Amino acid sequence: MKGSGSASEKKISPLRILVVDDDPVIGTSCRKILAAEGHEVTVFQNAPAGLQAALTGQYDVVLLDWVMPELDGMKFLTQIKAAGIVAAVVVITGYATVESAVEAMKQGAADYISKPFTPEQLSAAVQKVGRRSVLLRQNVVWTKQQEIQQGLEGILGQSRPMQQVFALIQRVALTDSTVLITGESGVGKEMAAQAIHRLSRRREKPLLACDCTALAPTLLESELFGHVKGSFSGAIAAKRGLFEVADGGTLFLDEIANLSLETQAKLLRVLETRRVKKVGDTIEREVDIRVIAATNRDLWEMVRAGRFREDLYYRLNVVPIHLPPLRKRPEDIALLAAVFLRRTCAKIDRAIKGFTPEAMKRLESYPWPGNVRELKNIIERIAILCDAEYIDVAHLPIEIRQSPSRPSLPPLPTTWEEFRRLKEQAAEGAIQDLERRFVLEALRRAGGNVSRAAKEVRMLRPNFHKLMRKYGIRSEDVQPE
């Protein structure tokens, strides 16, 4: 067994421990040993059921068998880490190889023990990782307490538009109504769905997410509704769909606009009847589930174009929540940038104190086409590369350095001729901004290679280079995708 510290160390407070192992002897042994030490132990032999329990986030430690028939340890571990579950995972393996242990640790396991293990080895492993899990959970609570004053359940914003969003989330969370979250890519639609779930009566049950763009229609239906064995090529075993797995909890359907019309019809029936039928099955099963959908597209325009069912639109749009783009709430940029900088510095062990006034002014003037996600990624990149005490303009990416300052509104003209000239000036400025961004994006896609960028946008290289000189753009300043 990997070294797990001394069992004689000071005992920690009772832990909530989840054991997932298809061997009943292992489960019984773990329960007996750990319950005797005062811990609360729950055992599952069925891996999918154990995963559903783990996704509730109610456990401090998960003891996980690495080799199980229905769901192996690798997939189990990947899913709970992707869901942000902070429980410490100890892998139980009967295949005590360096390779399996290393792979488990790479995927986020805190420790591992090998079968057969003694009561002392099990207690020592739980003692070690349990202390870390408790500290991590306390840190999460502290961080939330620090940020909740200016946000809601991890969503940050002190602007009036975001305060209105927070108020709506808090009200709708107390109900079971279906919610449709709209907004551009990167505004935080999934975080809003998570906030609704955590504030609801369903918070003890799982929140599962499905990206409606990730799978072909047939596979997506199987993912949502499940399938019976032999229902289609490759269906070698029956499978529960997300509607069944999330029973009692919340299902988040991201990019709902990408559903095929056939899948839309089946989803509508589930929402109307609260019953789900697996692909290839004849039996319907009742489900108690809340649906939250999200899209960055105009669903009503899709309804008018015949690409989205009108009846499904009304079924989804019971409570609409629109998340404003970052450019519509520039007063939130300083708060977001400061939080992202603090988180990144803690992660990479750096001591950057903040931003200079001019750097912050540039950040607040930039239109942020990628919204909060773009801001977060750029702040992380800057923090990694910056070796100064404060982030200055020189540390910012070129597209932000060269972004024009947010203009103040000019006085209204008093004659029609003056108004026409003002419109021409405004149009010229907008065109130049688009032209500059066009060149920057082309260079970014081409990894900074000028010849490749010019070829991809179907321009002669001298003409493309002329545009670069016009806006002071250098290929070495462009960060590749």
Q: pTM value? A: 0.57
Of residues 325 and 399, more confidently modeled: 325
Predicted confidence band at 7 (pLDDT cuts at 50, 70, 90)?
very low
Predicted confidence band at 408 (pLDDT cuts at 50, 70, 90)?
very low
Query: 160-324: which CATH architecture?
Result: 3-Layer(aba) Sandwich (3.40)
CATH code of the domain made up of 16-144: 3.40.50.2300
Q: Determine the Cα–Cα distance for residues 225 and 266; give it in Å rounded to an integer.
A: 9
Of residues 123 and 238, more confidently modeled: 123
Long-range pairs for 354-357: beta carbons < 8 A, 24 or more residues apart: 354/390, 354/391, 355/390, 355/391, 355/392, 356/390, 356/391, 356/392, 356/393
As a whole number of Å, the end-to-end CA separation of the chain is: 43
Predicted confidence band at 86 (pLDDT cuts at 50, 70, 90)?
confident
Q: Determine the Cα–Cα distance for residues 321 and 54; give it in Å rounded to an integer.
A: 29
CATH code of the domain made up of 331-401: 1.10.8.60
Task: Please report, for the chain, the start and end positions of each structural domain, with discontinuous segments joined by +.
Answer: 16-144, 160-324, 331-401, 416-477
Percent of the residues in the chain that have a pLDDT greater than 90, as a whole number: 32
Given a cut of 60, whether residue 233 has pLDDT beyond it is yes
Predicted confidence band at 277 (pLDDT cuts at 50, 70, 90)?
confident
pLDDT at residue number 229? 77
Q: Determine the Cα–Cα distance for residues 308 and 258; give it in Å rounded to an integer.
A: 9
Predicted confidence band at 426 (pLDDT cuts at 50, 70, 90)?
low
Lowest mean pLDDT among 35-44, 82-91, 111-120, 400-409: 400-409
Of residues 135 and 253, more confidently modeled: 253
pLDDT of 12-33, one tens digit each?
Answer: 678 889 999 988 899 899 999 9
Q: Determine the Cα–Cα distance for residues 477 and 448; give it in Å rounded to an integer.
A: 8
Of residues 411 and 351, more confidently modeled: 351
Q: Considering only CA atoms, which of 349, 354, 291, 337 is closest in space to residue 317?
A: 291
Determine contact, residues 348/384, Cβ cutoff 8 Å.
yes
Q: How many CA atoms lie within 13 A of 324 on its CB side?
A: 20
Look up residue 131 and give its amino acid. Answer: R
